[in-house]
Structure 1
């Protein structure tokens, strides 16, 4: 399993988000500072709302850049059948509906999905989603071993996951 190629793909996805966010931010800043958005009365808040949005986008941009820097410094580790789930572990799970999913435990970048990971890994790994130890599923999986089962309460239901493999 080529984790370095997978990590490069995750970083690429995050860098694509940076490009998209910078473009959106430029449009938002333009909307906040455009003379057409100058308030005409006290209830005209378009420019104010645009400035709040631009601030939120700037904070998200900074977070993604920090995530990229963190991932570039991340040391990748190989896992054996005797190891528990930890950072940089690839975890294959099966849920109650007998659906198989692959997750990659990373320190940040949660939610990033690599659609065709088999191209990068020369394996049967089709889709891979990044989990962090801070996410509910990440917390549940952390420290577990192959063949362990974890439960996760989501709203009014409980989802069970069986760990099939850790790499």
Structure 2
């Protein structure tokens, strides 16, 4: 296990991405699909956030391992935003994993360090820019991805590039 927490597993549902999910708490949904929540597995807890979706097939997700103070923040009975101090306006850089899902199943993931003190829009843009570059690098690697995964990764890469320029 790295400082990034348990790694999301390709092929898993984007909101239950860990190999042995013990519990998922859904905080928010859009059109029935979870967009924000907490997943627990292997004694670890992570916040998941669907940053953007193209409303067809591709969505970009951020997974943030939670500390005890983070969990206390999420459990507080105040009106603060769940992303505050964890993703948005974090006082320190955060080790995270960024993922891309196709039809709500993870097809790509990379570890990433989320910079400190970002607004929600800046965090989303930084993640999309990193995601687009990481997918470009993955698609250019040798040996190439198997044909089926490559087609899905190319579609996802094009969608992420489009989302990053909107």
- Please indicate, yes or no, whether the TM-score normalized by the shorter chain is above 0.5: no
Which of structures 1 and 2 has the bigger CA Rg? 1
* TM-score calculated relative to the size of structure 2: 0.26
* TM-score calculated relative to the size of structure 1: 0.26
Which structure is richer in relative contact order (CA contacts within 8 A, separation 6 or more)?
1
